[in-house]
Amino acid sequence: MIGVNQWLRVVILAVVLGCASQANAEPYLAAQMGLKCVQCHVNPTGGGMRTVFGNAFAQTQLAAKKIGGDDDLWTGQVMKFLSVGGNARANYTYVDVPDQDATNEFEMEEARAYLDFGVIPNRLSVYIDQRFAPGNSTNMEANVRYWIKENAFYVKAGRMYLPFGYRLEDDNAFVRQVSGINMQTPDEGVEFGMEQGNWSTQLALSNGSGGGPENDKGKQVAARVEFVQSAWRVGASALFNDTDAGNRSGAGLFGAYRAGVFTLLGEVDYIDDDSIGVNGRKLMASLVEADWKIRQGHNLQLAFEWLEPNDDVDEDEQTRASVLYEWSPIQFVQLRTGVRLYDGIPQNDNQNRTQAFVQLHGFF
């Protein structure tokens, strides 16, 4: 068995070598550490199951305190060819919509389990992401991933999340709504990727049906390229969806900058969707997020988002400002609390709501 110090050496070595030995989709963590998504996630574009590295990071770097002995590090590997993981988020949410009674409730946001069968170690894997709650069980991802050239290139086929911008945990973020690519809309197709040096690139060809059954002959192409340095990163995304209802194209830029304990992330996306209405619609969204790592296990996040739902209509823009505090007291546990202030046109109460939440997040 190996101890924490040895694990730290593995972590440092992995960073130095940039190797793809592969915590939940929170891009600020990658930006804080100067790492690619693939460092901590089995999915090269982030989110879902954590790698050995990701699990080690969660225990030694993310948590304020590690409970248990040095030999008790969880790697995710339960047997030689099988790794497991999971996420569970339980929320208490308070919502105040103008001119309506405020509501509050407990809810299970999600419970997911991940399985990764590494049938040919570091080469061929079969990956499954199954959501068990809320509601009935449903598959979110199921794909085969094959790495070549010492983990420099890969091809992935099956049901997957598509590459576009930052893979945020919050699927309600405006940039994820506008792009239509988030962790609620996996699609079926094939993805080619390159993880070489400072570059992380992906190209995906999929049905383009938002996770529903294919309903036309056209397909969607989504691409993402990111250049990662230790203190900053910059990337671009593009998509084109050929549908009978009309074509949908989009592009986005994203980047991050780290200065000491502060990390700043930004993304801006533009979508031209001919399938909406008679004349189509042009949409735009942006995100600016600042994270302050107060000390290990404590993170304060401020975010501001802007949404232009229809470029042809004036004075319909919406904004969302968020303040979140994340406390990771021990390994694999996070207590998250935050307030989100929505601001939109005064005629629409829903666009001017205030939401507050407390979330217990368990993961492994």
Partner 1 sequence: MSAQTSNFMGRQGFFVVPLLLALAGCAGNGEGLDENGQPIPITPPANTDFAEIQATIFTPICTNCHIGANAPQGLRLDEANSYALLVNVASGEVPALMRVNPGNPDASYLVQKLQGNNAVGARMPFGGPYLAQDRIDLVRRWISAGAPAAATPPNQLKVASTIPGSTEVAPLGTSKLTVIFAGDVDASLATRETFGLRNGFDELVPLAGVSVPAGRPNVVELTLAQPLPQGTYQLEVRAEGPVALADNAGHVLDGDADGKAGGDFLMSFDVAAGETK
- State which residue, 74 or 132, has the beta carbon closest to partner 1: 132
- State which residue, 10 or 111, has the beta carbon closest to partner 1: 111
- State which residue, 79 or 136, has the beta carbon closest to partner 1: 136
- State which residue, 121 or 212, has the beta carbon closest to partner 1: 212
Q: Is the dihedral of CA 166, 172, 173, 176 positive or negative?
A: positive
Beta bridge partner(s), residue 250: 239, 271
Beta bridge partner(s), residue 285: 269, 307
Smallest gap from Cβ 78 to partner 1, in A, equals 27
For residues 209 and 144, what is the distance between their CA atoms, to the nearest angstrom? 20
CB of 347 closer than 8 Å to CB of 84: no
- State which residue, 226 or 289, has the beta carbon closest to partner 1: 289
Smallest gap from Cβ 328 to partner 1, in A, equals 21
Judging by beta carbons within 10 Å of its beta carbon (0-12, 13-18, 19+), is residue 320 exposed, middle or buried?
buried
Those residues with Cβ within 8 angstroms of residue 364's Cβ, 6 or more apart along the chain or in another chain: 50, 55, 74, 76, 84, 85, 86, 332
Smallest gap from Cβ 20 to partner 1, in A, equals 29
Smallest gap from Cβ 252 to partner 1, in A, equals 12
Task: Give phi and psi for 28, each to the nearest 5.
Answer: -65, -30
Smallest gap from Cβ 199 to partner 1, in A, equals 23
- State which residue, 74 or 240, has the beta carbon closest to partner 1: 240
The distance of Cα 89 from the centroid of its chain, to the nearest Å, equals 15
Smallest gap from Cβ 102 to partner 1, in A, equals 10
Beta bridge partner(s), residue 240: 221, 249
- State which residue, 145 or 233, has the beta carbon closest to partner 1: 233
- State which residue, 30 or 178, has the beta carbon closest to partner 1: 178
Residue 186: closest CA among 206, 216, 215? 206
Task: Give phi and psi for 54, each to the nearest 5.
Answer: -60, -40
Token pair of 143 as six digits: 């794909």
Smallest gap from Cβ 85 to partner 1, in A, equals 20
Smallest gap from Cβ 262 to partner 1, in A, equals 5
For residues 193 and 236, what is the distance between their CA atoms, to the nearest angstrom? 15
- State which residue, 87 or 286, has the beta carbon closest to partner 1: 286
Smallest gap from Cβ 82 to partner 1, in A, equals 26
For residues 59 and 11, what is the distance between their CA atoms, to the nearest angstrom? 12
Report the amino acid identity of residue 162.
L
Smallest gap from Cβ 234 to partner 1, in A, equals 12
Q: Is the dihedral of CA 257, 325, 4, 195 positive or negative?
A: negative
The distance of Cα 126 from the centroid of its chain, to the nearest Å, equals 20
- State which residue, 71 or 314, has the beta carbon closest to partner 1: 314
Judging by beta carbons within 10 Å of its beta carbon (0-12, 13-18, 19+), is residue 63 exposed, middle or buried?
buried
Q: What is the CA radius of gyration of the chain?
A: 20
